[in-house]
């Protein structure tokens, strides 16, 4: 029912207590800062210095984590290694360079490739889509958490800032490196998954694996709806197996709390691997059976025994969108059906369907009835036909906005919820803008 709290909303809210701020002493030498901003970052303490793994997303909260570290050790932070180039893992680094301007910042050579690709193609809309996905522009009552982190508050995740020169990595490696600083030895290796620049950091002494964003407590974001290049899903599956092969006793993920215990970590990695391979293999099988992305997005599911596993709930990523990404990543946009090679223009198609239905007003009545009956997706699709016809635009935009809000409330995937709610607000604002323009004419 419109306005009431849905099961999806309740489930997401129930995660709040686990997403709060914790400074975890993982082993005698490893401290993990979780809930200091949206990402998780760590400190490995040696005999004469500290090496950090990732820097957090905001200098203020990263400085607070460093202050917490200072309750345990006075040793200087000599090094920092980035697991990948996303800003929520790097932008906090000025807190580290403020403390030690000579800090060694390490990263793999193809660092920040995802952002550079969008920039090189002038894909400016990626910023607007990113703001929608993260819900930066939503009022607080329309945001919950992201499932793996507290919700983005203004200034928390700077999605649109250019990294400062001070936090650029100066120690670069091709594929592998051994970092030896202050009595800490870390083995770093290329482990492409969420991004091509993802690395695995291994602290063998305490058997701690730092896996960056290749894993967290949610179905992973195999495709980001803000718009990214294909994230090679087969490669991502292999990346999980590479972590598991190390037999880690502790697993520190790019978001959410770490997992400890050899058996617990192995089980978590087994579940994650099987979930990812299951969806990937089922999609490839469906592709080879000649199915289209639209069909596969509805048909491919997680293996039955994993569907409700807490590590694979669709809080941040979404299985259906992953399936579409695998299809287009492997074969490109053409779904294989020749009728879709040159479909009618959406306006032409809408006109023919309206004629068939008995006119645009009939479609509008059907859309309103569908929303009232709880068929919000159908309502939104009918609204799109009407928008393509430019018919009763103001009312249609308002109806579509209500349908999107209803879809959002029932969606578990937070990126999608945020996107739908934000888009609904944009539709309402565009109607207001058009009325104002008409009044001024």
Is the separation of the CB atoms in 143 and 419 below 8 Å? no
- DSSP code for 354: H
CB of 65 to Zn ion, least distance (A): 16
Q: Which residues make beta-bridge pairs with 190?
A: 199
What is the SS3 assignment for 189? Answer: strand
C-beta of 118 vs 371, nearer to Zn ion = 118
Please give the Cα distance from 210 to 69 (Å, whole number).
18
Least distance (Å) from Zn ion to the CB of residue 221? 9
Shortest Cβ 214–Zn ion spacing (Å) = 10
Residue 213 or 405: the one with the smaller Cβ distance to Zn ion is: 213
The Cα–Cα gap between 251 and 412 comes to 25
Cβ atoms of 414 and 315 closer than 8 Å: yes
Rule CB under 5 A: which of 252-291 touch Zn ion?
254
Closer residue to Zn ion, CB minimum distance, 211 or 396:
211
Distance CA 54, CA 213 (A): 11
Rg (CA), the chain: 24
Q: Give ∠ CA 319-144-255 in degrees, rounded to 5.
A: 60
Question: Quick one: 21 or 351, whose CB is closer to Zn ion?
Answer: 21
Which residue's C-beta sits nearest to Zn ion?
A: 213
Cβ burial, residue 87 (10 Å; 0-12/13-18/19+):
buried
Which of residues 257 and 376 has its CB atom nearest to Zn ion in the complex? 257
Stretch that binds Zn ion, among 12-20, 149-157, 235-243, 247-255 (CB under 5 A): 247-255
Which residue's CB is nearer to Zn ion, number 55 or number 297?
A: 55
Instruction: Quote the least distance from Cβ 213 to Zn ion, whole Å.
Output: 4
Q: How many CA atoms lie within 13 A of 36 on its CB side?
A: 29
* Closest to Zn ion by CB, 86 or 142: 86
Closest contact distance (angstroms) between CB of 84 and Zn ion is 8
Interaction between residue 314 and Zn ion (CB under 5 A):
no
Least Å distance, CB 197 to Zn ion, is 12
Judge contact between 361 and 399, C-beta under 8 A: no
Distance CA 75, CA 93 (A): 18
Tokens 């029932």 — which residue?
410
Q: Which two tokens stand for residue 318?
A: 């979404």
Q: How far is the CB of 297 from Zn ion (least distance, A)?
A: 25
Nearer CB in complex with Zn ion: 84/400: 84
186 vs 211 by CB, closer to Zn ion: 211
- Minimum distance of Zn ion from residue 215's CB (angstroms): 11
Minimum Å distance from CB 387 to Zn ion? 35
Q: Name the residue among 6, 57, 5, 51 with its Cα closest to residue 30.
A: 51
DSSP secondary structure string, 367-397? HHHHHHTT-HHHHHHHHHHHHHHT-SHHHHH
Rule CB under 5 A: which of 177-216 touch Zn ion? 213
Tokens linked to 304: 């039955």
The residues, ordered by sequence, that sit 6+ positions from 265 with a Cβ below 8 Å of its Cβ are: 209, 248, 249, 250, 251, 259
Q: Which stretch binds Zn ion (CB under 5 A): 131-139, 250-258, 282-290, 395-403?
A: 250-258
Strands 104-108 and 77-81, by their bridges, are parallel
CB of 38 to Zn ion, least distance (A): 7
* Coil vs helix vs strand at 77: strand
Q: What is the three-class DSSP state of 185? A: strand
Question: Which residue's CB is nearer to Zn ion, number 87 or number 296?
Answer: 87
| Interaction residues for Zn ion, span 70-129 (CB under 5 A) | 86, 88
Torsion on CA atoms 83, 87, 92, 94, rounded to nearest 10: 100
- Report the nearest approach of Zn ion to the CB of residue 88 (Å): 5
Nearer CB in complex with Zn ion: 40/97: 40
User: Total residues contacting Zn ion (rule CB under 5 A)?
Assistant: 4
Q: Which residues bind Zn ion (CB under 5 A)?
A: 86, 88, 213, 254
């Amino acid at each position: 029912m419109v306005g009431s709290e849905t099961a999806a909303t309740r489930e997401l809210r129930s995660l709040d207590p686990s997403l709060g701020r914790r400074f975890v002493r993982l082993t005698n030498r490893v401290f993990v800062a979780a809930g200091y901003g949206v990402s998780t970052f760590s400190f490995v303490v040696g005999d004469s210095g500290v090496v950090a793994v990732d820097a957090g997303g905001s200098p203020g909260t990263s400085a607070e984590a460093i202050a917490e570290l200072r309750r345990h050790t006075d040793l200087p932070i000599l090094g920092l290694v980035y697991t990948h180039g996303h800003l929520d893992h790097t932008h906090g680094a000025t807190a580290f360079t403020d403390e030690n301007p000579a800090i060694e910042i390490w990263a793999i050579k193809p660092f920040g490739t995802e952002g550079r690709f969008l920039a090189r193609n002038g894909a400016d809309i990626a910023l607007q889509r990113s703001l929608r996905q993260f819900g930066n522009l939503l009022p607080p009552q329309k945001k919950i958490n992201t499932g793996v982190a507290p919700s983005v508050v203004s200034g928390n995740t700077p999605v649109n800032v250019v990294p400062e020169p001070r936090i650029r990595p100066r120690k670069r490696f091709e594929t592998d490196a051994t970092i030896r600083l202050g009595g800490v030895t870390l083995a770093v290796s290329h482990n492409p998954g969420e991004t091509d620049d993802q690395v695995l950091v291994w602290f063998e002494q305490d058997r701690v694996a730092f896996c960056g964003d290749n894993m967290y407590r949610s179905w992973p974001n195999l495709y980001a709806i803000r718009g990214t290049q294909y994230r090679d899903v087969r490669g991502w599956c292999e990346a999980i197996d590479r972590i598991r092969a190390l037999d880690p006793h502790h697993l520190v993920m790019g978001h959410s709390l770490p997992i400890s215990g050899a058996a617990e970590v192995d089980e978590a990695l087994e579940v994650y691997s099987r979930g990812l391979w299951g969806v990937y293999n089922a999609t490839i099988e469906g592709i080879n059976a000649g199915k289209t992305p639209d069909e596969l997005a509805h048909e491919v599911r997680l293996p039955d025994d994993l569907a409700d596993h807490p590590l694979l709930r669709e809080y941040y990523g979404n299985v259906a969108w992953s399936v579409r990404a695998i299809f287009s990543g492997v074969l490109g946009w053409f779904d294989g059906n020749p009728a879709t090679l040159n479909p009618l223009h959406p306006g032409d198609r809408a006109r023919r369907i309206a004629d068939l239905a008995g006119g645009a007003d009939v479609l509008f009545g059907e859309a309103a009835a569908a929303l009232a009956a709880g068929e919000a997706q159908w309502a939104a699709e009918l609204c799109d036909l009407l928008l393509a016809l430019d018919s009763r635009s103001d009312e249609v935009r308002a109806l579509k906005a209500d349908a999107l809000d209803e879809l959002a409330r029932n969606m578990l995937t937070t990126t999608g919820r945020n996107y739908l709610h934000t888009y609904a607000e944009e539709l309402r604002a565009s109607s207001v803008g058009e009325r104002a323009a008409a009044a001024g004419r």
